[in-house]
Structure 1
Amino acid sequence: MSTGSKSKQVRELQARLRAIGHFDRSPTGYYGTMTASAVSSFQGKRGLDRTGRTDTVTWARLTAMTKQPDRDALYPPTTNKLDKPDPRCLKGRVLCISKTSDTLRWMVDGKVVTAMDVRFGSQYTPTREGTFSVFQKSRHWTSTIYHTPMPYAMFFSGGQAVHYSSDFAARGYAGASHGCVNVRDEGKLASVFSQVKLGDQVVVYR
């Protein structure tokens, strides 16, 4: 395998490299420059020629020291790497939102039900941090200030809510919200929206 390769084996390569700290992204199945750099790093640590290509020797060395990745390792729930949840997230029903990893976890009694990528407000309209609760839900909401759609809105602090953002889905982290917690996976958020109840806790932390 080398730059330009695209296969299930590349995804496995990335998952194995990630397991030992050489690849810090979710597996994609595409062998790009970041994968080549990760392979080169692994080769250097093991005394192999730093070619960035995964030859037979490199693959054998990697598979000998890593476990066969399971489905969660091959297809992680988020593009971003999940960090350790805040202790406040470990009891009850919580939307656990990390500004460090840009992720949201829907947790029940300390267990992660599902997770997704999120983005936050800019420095001019920051997303508030702290412990809150969901006080209003709306499947079809439009911002009364910015007049933009906010599907699956779950309000937790004034006008700030967790909601689906088509702009986030299209532009990624090139943009920002006006303070809300934007989600780009509409399907995942729709499922969480159906489970969250008024009064459920929201923890936003860094």
Structure 2
Amino acid sequence: MAGRQGTGPTARVAALGALLALAGLQAPRAAAAPAQPESACVAGTGPYQRELEHHLGRPVDGVQSSADCHAVRAFQRANGLTPAHGYPGLATYRTMLVVTARPAPNAAGDCPVREHRVTCVDMDRQLLWVQKGDSVVLPPVPVRTGRDYQETRPGWHEVYQRNKEHVSTLYGSPMPYAQFFDGGQALHGTHGSLYGGGGSAGCVNLTEPDAKRLWDLLAEGDAIYVWGTKPGTED
């Protein structure tokens, strides 16, 4: 005796699908879920409001609007800043300086051009890059130079000692990828933020990934040129 065909909901759906297929039609699909709206951006006016408004092509009035907040948040996301909250604070402003400098970091000609490699440390903008002749071989990255009374010494220097896993003998703090250039002052990585604390104790601090890139590029005897004044310190 032949088995009885199913008559439940599953069988009925299957039969409908078969009939539609024979007719060259497609079974109806479930409606797509509605897209989730972008979350509100409510960050207030920040200390670098005008600078970010100008950079992002917003009306420059120094007052945060919802559109300003969304534009700043998009910039933060595009440049890997966290949290991306839309607040135009110091970290966002410093990132803006890096982005602005990338096409031509030495446009003002402050870092001398030489046929050999020169590591340029711009204390005005708190940027570092490496150039050789007219070519930039390491694009600009953010740095933190010395605070008041422990300023990074300006002028020409050269790398005289390198220590990949150095620990400060004065402060006991790690100085990864340290490259010393003047009386204990060094280019080196830091585990903390580059945007707080008022400055270093005279060294040029970089993020650890940037310090490693610089370590892989430079060698003892390489030239370093430092100029300018760190914002917030005395001339």
TM-score with structure 1 length normalisation?
0.62
Task: Give 2:131's aligned residue.
Answer: 107
Of 185, 198, 201, the match for 2:220: 198
1:102 partner amino acid: Q
Residue 91 of structure 1 and its aligned partner are, at CA, apart by 3.8
Task: Give 2:60's aligned residue.
Answer: 41
CA contact 1:135–1:199 (8 Å) conserved in 2 = yes
Q: Distance in 1 between matches of 2:40 and 2:58?
A: 11
Superposed counterparts of 1:130-141, under 5 Å = 130-141=155-166
Describe the SS at the equivalent of 1:152: strand
Of 162, 167, 177, the match for 2:200: 177
Superposed counterparts of 1:116-127, under 5 Å = 116-127=141-152
Q: Distance in 2 between matches of 1:124 and 1:163?
A: 20
Describe the SS at the equivalent of 1:153: strand
Residue 3 of structure 1 and its aligned partner are, at CA, apart by 6.9
1:190 partner amino acid: K
Q: Distance in 2 between matches of 1:3 and 1:135?
A: 52
Q: Per the alignment, do residues 99 and 2 of structure 1 end up closer, same or farther by CA in structure 2, a change over 3 Å counting?
A: farther
Q: Per the alignment, do residues 3 and 178 of structure 1 end up closer, same or farther by CA in structure 2, a change over 3 Å counting?
A: same
Q: Per the alignment, do residues 161 and 80 of structure 1 end up closer, same or farther by CA in structure 2, a change over 3 Å counting?
A: farther
Cα deviation, 1:108-147, whole Å, max 9, x if unaligned, reads: 2232222211111111211100001111111000111111
Residue 93 of structure 1 and its aligned partner are, at CA, apart by 0.5
Q: Distance in 2 between matches of 1:145 and 1:52?
A: 47
Q: Per the alignment, do residues 167 and 51 of structure 1 end up closer, same or farther by CA in structure 2, a change over 3 Å counting?
A: closer
Describe the SS at the equivalent of 1:167: coil
Q: Which runs of 5+ in 2 are unaligned?
A: 1-37, 43-50, 68-77, 81-93, 229-235
Q: Per the alignment, do residues 174 and 145 of structure 1 end up closer, same or farther by CA in structure 2, a change over 3 Å counting?
A: closer
Q: Distance in 2 between matches of 1:191 and 1:102?
A: 18
Task: Give 1:93's aligned residue.
Answer: 117
Q: Distance in 1 between matches of 2:161 and 2:123?
A: 23
Cα deviation, 1:7-43, whole Å, max 9, x if unaligned, reads: xxxxxxxxxx97xx812xxxxxxxxxxx7xx62328x
Task: Give 1:188's aligned residue.
Answer: 210
Q: Distance in 2 between matches of 1:75 and 1:51?
A: 20
Q: Which runs of 5+ in 1 are unaligned?
A: 6-16, 24-34, 43-49, 55-73
Q: Give the number of equivalent residue pairs.
A: 154
Rg (Cα) greater in structure:
2
Q: Per the alignment, do residues 125 and 51 of structure 1 end up closer, same or farther by CA in structure 2, a change over 3 Å counting?
A: closer
CA contact 2:165–2:175 (8 Å) conserved in 1 = yes
Residue 2 of structure 1 and its aligned partner are, at CA, apart by 10
TM-score with structure 2 length normalisation?
0.55
Higher helix share: 1
Q: Per the alignment, do residues 39 and 114 of structure 1 end up closer, same or farther by CA in structure 2, a change over 3 Å counting?
A: closer
CA contact 1:39–1:53 (8 Å) conserved in 2 = no
Q: Distance in 2 between matches of 1:115 and 1:22?
A: 21
Percentage of pairs with the same residue: 29
Residue 191 of structure 1 and its aligned partner are, at CA, apart by 1.5
CA contact 1:39–1:52 (8 Å) conserved in 2 = no
